[in-house]
Amino acid sequence: MFGLFLKCVLGAAVVLIIAVLSKSKAFYIAGLVPLFPTFALIAHVIVSQQQGAEALQKTALFGLWSLIPYFIYLFMVYVLATKMSMWSCLGLATLCWVIAAAGLIYGWQLYHQ
């Protein structure tokens, strides 16, 4: 139960840091904060403890490939930010991320089974 509480506190701290940075002169740094591997660290500890080092290695490799959907999301936000409303831009970029992530998962399962 304490572990779950700690995870919630870490998530809240990240949101707080993003909120504070987004109001500063260095607002762009708010885009870097979500890339701090807070949740990856938690996932890697859990995978390693439950599945071992080989599973941790595969999880890290999949994490590297997962940068592709994130790149697509950011690229779409960059391209669409000045062309449509914020909600439309973020919604379309998120849809592109979902499609790319689904393709990644499908491709990963085909290749690794």
Give the integer Cα–Cα distance in Å for 14 and 2.
19
Position 14 scores a pLDDT of: 84
If pLDDT is split at 50, 70 and 90, which confidence band does 45 have? very high
Per-residue pLDDT for 33 more than 90?
Answer: no
Handedness of CA 76, 19, 35, 14 (dihedral sign): negative
Position 51 scores a pLDDT of: 95
pLDDT digits (tens, 9 = 90+) for 59-103: 999 999 999 999 999 999 999 999 999 999 999 999 999 999 999
Position 4 scores a pLDDT of: 85
Position 19 scores a pLDDT of: 93
Per-residue pLDDT for 113 more than 80?
Answer: no
Percentage, residues of the chain above pLDDT 90: 70
